[in-house]
Amino acid sequence: MVRALLFGALALLASTGSAYDVIREYSGNTFFDGWDFYGAPDNLTLGNVTWVSQTDAMSLGLAYVNTQGNVILKVDNTTNVTYGQERNSVRITTQDAYELGSLWLIDINHIPYGCSVWPAFWSFGPQWPNDGEIDIIEGINLMTYNQMAIHTTPGCTQSGSVSQLGTSGSTTDCSQPAGCTVMETSPNSFESGFAAAGGGVWATKFDDTGISIWFWSRPDVPQSINQSTSASSLDLSGWGTPHANYSSTTCNMNEFFTPQNLVLDITLCGDW
């Protein structure tokens, strides 16, 4: 069973009118600069893992950069553990928080899947859950699609009239335990299909007009992204309809969200 998260880069951009300029890039041998390792058991979803420190993660081979320059985050899959014993894994959080008006791009080649496996890429404000949470990549077990969501305090809802490619869940009240979920309908967004396609790219626009999330399987990544560099601006005008869309018309972003720290983690089992 493969239990590794393998990706090339995470880029953070800030709006300069109609385009976005890169303000931070996490990639290659310097990827782990600017991240904190959690170093404690899973206290969020009560999964059967301990998220180890940076020193332990690197000495145990759970966090490293391979010879191709790809970043690897993984769960220990070599130690025999007894019932009730926690398995070592990794959770990392950006030291910087990113404000409204930013755009987050993550390029991933492989996401772990299988019975009990729960990977995620998400964000939160400093006073969680009061300052909002955005779930960009999340799935469990053998789900064949990615699930996106936002979590807030009462008063934020997802409008039923927003334009999006994904399918909204059963509740529009984002303060409910599951949040306002959107199920990805594009193929190859998770599980074996994602890996077979060579991975893909997610983009999240965190803006006072709302939160929009796009996903592209590897063959469909826009040229505006493929051809971009750390010195170039990025134009979103050709991206089309987002896959998940949370409009400020029914959720005041300035009221329910503060600057967000980004998180990558893998847990096992736990409370879905």
Among 25, 86, 99, 133, the one annotated catalytic: 133
Question: SS3 for 63?
Answer: strand
Question: Which letter does DSSP use for residue 207 in this model?
Answer: E
DSSP codes, 80-143: ---TTPPEEE-EEEESS-B-TTEEEEEEEEE---STTEEEEEEEE-SSTTTT-EEEEEE--TT-
Q: Which residue has the tokens 């070599």?
A: 78
86 flagged as catalytic: no
138 flagged as catalytic: yes
Phi, psi of 255 (to 5 degrees): -85, -40
The C-alpha angle with vertex 46 and arms to 45 and 47, in degrees rounded to 5, equals 90
252 closest CA partner among 159, 165, 136: 159
Q: Are the beta carbons of 6 and 75 closer than 8 angstroms?
A: no
Question: Which letter does DSSP use for residue 157 in this model?
Answer: B
Q: Are the beta carbons of 199 and 183 closer than 8 angstroms?
A: no
210 closest CA partner among 262, 178, 245, 237: 245
Among 99, 138, 191, 255, the one annotated catalytic: 138
Token pair for residue 98? 């990113």
146 closest CA partner among 185, 203, 105: 185
**Catalytic residue set:** 133, 138
